[in-house]
Amino acid sequence: MSGRTIELVLAGAMAGTVFVTITAGTLVAQSRKDLHFNVGVRSGISVNNPYGSISVKPSLNNTVMINAMLSSDKVEIDSSQNGNRVEIQSHLLPGATAENGRVDYEVLIPADASITLHSNTGSLHAEKLHGDVTLEGASATVDIRDITSAHVHVKTLNGPVTLTNVQDGHVEVDSLSGEVTLNRVTGPLVQVISTSGPINYTGDFGDSGDYRLTSHSGDIEATVPETTSADVTASSVRGEVHDDIPLQPKAHTSFIVRQGSAFVGTMGRAAVSSTVVLRSFSGKIHLRKRTSK
């Protein structure tokens, strides 16, 4: 073997060693953890994950299955079960950062279980459940869909919030500056409070609920079908209000209705109507009629 060949072999061997080391390092750093819990009816599951996403879907039986992908050994998972309650916590170890402290969860729970999810930066997703849903996060993106007969509570700092097909819900969304979008969300109480984020509602306001959409400086837009029945009050202290749908005026109002900054009236059949309050200080308010495609 010539000297040149030996050099090439040694170089290749060294490169291979480095590659294996890096690969092994990656394998060691990233890990997956699976957890299983048996629970009864109407159980409670809590997942607190500082960095990373949490996705929750229904399981086929009374089991809670957690699939967690840990980005490094700077984070570990603590879990406990106390009767019908399961708590999961991503535990950041010294030196953890948003990158190496990240954990992504996929969680399957009984459909009647209540969940509490918390993440600051990842996405929070829950679907096809009928237990109570509580989601909190600073910058977390919140996506909730296909929820029935449940309390849905969401709090975010600036993460966008989207609720789709939430029926018969007791819905409360608080967001400082995130955009809030509600599609086909109905129930006895639907309340959104935002400081500066816009609020978009698309749906028919159910048939006997209390709907309150409030934003200090964000715009509020509600798009409803012509068949909607609702008592509507809309007012913006400094913004404009627009109404594309003819409302039957109300004889008495609790405040002075100034043209262009407020409107009050009933659409559809008053006997089966919901109460809708749209309120902003400096944002625009627009009640639109949904056009059929």
Residue 117: which residues within 8 A CB-CB, separation 6 or more?
46, 47, 49, 54, 56, 124, 126, 134, 135, 136, 137
Q: Considering the complex, state which of residue 145 and residue 151 has its C-beta at the smaller distance from another protein.
A: 151
The whole-angstrom separation of Cα 234 and Cα 220 is: 10
> Minimum Å distance from CB 217 to another protein?
7
Choosing from 31, 48, 123, 165, the residue that interacts with another protein (CB under 8 A) is 48
Task: Look at phi and psi of residue 54 and say left if phi exceeds 0, alpha if psi is from -120 to 50, else beta.
Answer: beta
In terms of Cβ atoms closer than 10 Å to its own Cβ (0-12, 13-18, 19+), residue 21 is exposed
Residue 167 binds to another protein (criterion: CB under 8 A): no
Using the rule CB under 8 A, which residue among 279, 283, 285, 287 binds another protein? 279
Phi, psi torsion values for 90, nearest 5 degrees: -75, 120
* Residue (184 or 216) nearer to another protein, CB: 216
- Only segment of 1-9, 18-26, 60-68, 76-84 that touches another protein (CB under 8 A): 76-84
195 is a site residue for another protein (CB under 8 A): yes
Which residues make up the interface to another protein (CB under 8 A)? 46, 48, 50-51, 78-80, 87, 89, 91-92, 96-98, 101, 116, 118, 120, 134, 136, 138-139, 155-158, 174, 176-177, 193, 195-196, 214, 216-217, 235, 237, 254-255, 277, 279, 281-282
